[in-house]
């Protein structure tokens, strides 16, 4: 789960990291009021969306007068900002963060991420801040610092100091930098964050180290024990398809294709996506119904898949162990009948109670295509999808 910049800064401040003063605003009038609360001088108006590169899209503006603040707020609020991270759909701006301007002397990149290879938290830092880590690694690969944190002891002061010394900081700032690095690590560890990124972490002309921008992501599976973090969730910034599925306990990831997938088991779901692509189609989603799926759960899965308007065919691929093919078949039949399904549907069943499941589908009299193998199912669903497009005069 991602959170907004202003929420991230609230947490960073709690763990001893310096952040600029600021306030949230939901209207141009409130934005002007917030600027007067700060000092009435130069401030920065920042669109709050779950995406980087906001500045390039016009979502970050430095303003000196009330009129400039009001104009910037009016332009941003209600607009969908499109960045390279949001995709062409963009993300809606419904709130702004009004922050005091900072006189920057130096920019630094600092991030804490989970490294699956190391199975540990890794600190990634660079003296070249203010841009994406991918750009830094391409333009200044030698500037990237990596430091692995031993989970048995956590981030130690000597390790934080070593990182600080490599960032080309003035020796007088090492103590501040050490405190900042340890604070970021404590936030990640104690709040079950999966990523803490501060970019840029700046040195001001007054000699202070300040987190000028921050991005935090949290482990969804740990939110049950972090209710204060759960309160930060903004569903308007999430993929509506994924939100619908998650709220109903389904494992769903939206993709860009046209063939919806309902599968049990993550491994089989990945194989199904591969087979669809090999057959010449494009999967619209990853959906794992899980073990012991009831007819009701299968029906919910169909609704989740059909929430994507791009879906033009559906493949159900079940290898039943804990699941039962007859339960799946009941759910498929209910879905076709209750949802008035009009797009091609291919079902492949195998495993527990497979004969009963196939019999239910065959005796239903519904327009459901069956297959015995995954390869055959993929070929059939892609063929049906292409045929439907051809009949509608669309390019395949």
Asked if residue 134 belongs to a known ligand binding site, the reply is: no
Across-strand partners of 317? 263, 348
State how far the alpha carbon of 173 is from the alpha carbons of 17, 144, 200, 208, in Å.
Answer: 14, 20, 16, 8
Helix (H, G, I), strand (E, B) or coil at 112: strand
Asked if residue 107 belongs to a known ligand binding site, the reply is: yes
Residue owning tokens 């049906």: 384
CA dihedral sign, ordered 32, 129, 173, 161: positive
Asked if residue 213 belongs to a known ligand binding site, the reply is: yes
Residue owning tokens 């947490």: 11
CB atoms within 10 A of CB 215: 18
Report yes or no: 313 and 344 within 8 Å, Cβ to Cβ.
yes
Residue 359: exposure state from Cβ atoms within 10 A (0-12, 13-18, ≥19): middle
Q: At what angle do helices 354-363 and 325-338 cross, to 10 degrees?
A: 20
Asked if residue 285 belongs to a known ligand binding site, the reply is: no
Tell me the two tokens of residue 99: 């922050």
Asked if residue 251 belongs to a known ligand binding site, the reply is: no
CA dihedral sign, ordered 252, 254, 259, 265: negative
Tell me the two tokens of residue 163: 């990182």
Helix (H, G, I), strand (E, B) or coil at 92: strand
- Residue of 7, 39, 11, 20 lying closest to 201 (CA atoms): 20
Torsion-angle region of 45 (φ positive above 0: left; ψ -120 to 50: alpha; else: beta)? beta
Tell me the two tokens of residue 166: 């490599």
- Residue of 176, 181, 218 lying closest to 198 (CA atoms): 181
Residue owning tokens 């405190």: 179
User: Distance between CA atoms of 250 and 266, rounded to whole angstroms?
Assistant: 12
Residue owning tokens 């291919």: 346
State how far the alpha carbon of 230 is from the alpha carbons of 32, 183, 309, in Å.
Answer: 30, 21, 29
Which residues form the catalytic set? 109, 197
* Feature table: binding site for ATP: 46, 99, 102, 107
* Feature table: binding site: 46, 99, 102, 107, 199, 213, 264
* Feature table: binding site for substrate: 264
* Feature table: binding site for Mg(2+): 199, 213
């Amino acid at each position: 789960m991602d959170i907004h910049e202003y929420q991230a800064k609230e947490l960073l401040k709690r763990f001893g990291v310096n952040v600029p003063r600021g306030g949230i605003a939901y209207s141009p009038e409130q934005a002007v009021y917030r600027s007067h609360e700060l000092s009435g001088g130069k401030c920065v108006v920042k669109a709050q969306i779950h995406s980087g590169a906001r500045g390039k899209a016009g979502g970050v503006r430095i303003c000196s007068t009330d009129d400039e603040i009001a104009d910037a707020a009016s332009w941003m609020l209600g607009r969908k900002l499109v960045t390279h991270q949001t995709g062409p759909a963009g993300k809606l701006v419904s709130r702004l963060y009004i922050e005091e301007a900072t006189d920057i002397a130096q920019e630094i990149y600092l991030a804490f991420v989970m490294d699956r290879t190391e199975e540990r938290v890794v600190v990634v830092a660079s003296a070249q801040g203010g841009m994406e880590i991918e750009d830094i690694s391409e333009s200044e690969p030698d500037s990237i610092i990596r430091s692995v944190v031993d989970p048995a002891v956590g981030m130690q002061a000597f390790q934080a100091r070593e990182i600080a010394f490599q960032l080309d900081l003035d020796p007088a700032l090492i103590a501040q930098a050490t405190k900042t690095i340890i604070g970021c690590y404590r936030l990640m560890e104690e709040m079950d964050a999966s990523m803490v990124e501060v970019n840029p972490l700046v040195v001001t002309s007054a000699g202070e180290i300040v987190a000028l921008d921050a991005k935090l992501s949290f482990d969804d599976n740990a939110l049950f024990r972090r209710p204060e973090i759960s309160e930060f969730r903004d569903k308007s910034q999430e993929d509506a398809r994924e939100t619908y599925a998650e709220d109903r306990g389904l494992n769903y990831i939206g993709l860009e294709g046209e063939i919806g997938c309902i599968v049990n088991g993550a491994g089989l779901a990945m194989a199904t996506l591969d087979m669809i692509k090999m057959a010449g189609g494009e999967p619209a989603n990853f959906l794992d119904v899980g073990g012991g799926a009831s007819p009701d759960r299968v029906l919910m899965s169909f609704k989740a898949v059909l929430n994507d308007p791009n879906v033009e065919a559906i493949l159900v691929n079940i290898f039943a162990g804990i699941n039962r093919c007859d339960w799946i078949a009941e759910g498929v039949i209910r879905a076709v009948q209750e949802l008035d399904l009009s797009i091609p549907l291919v079902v492949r069943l195998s495993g527990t109670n497979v004969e009963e499941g196939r019999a239910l589908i065959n005796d239903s009299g519904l327009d459901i295509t069956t297959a015995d193998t995954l390869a055959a199912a993929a070929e059939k669903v892609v063929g049906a999808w292409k045929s439907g497009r051809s009949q509608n005069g669309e390019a395949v």
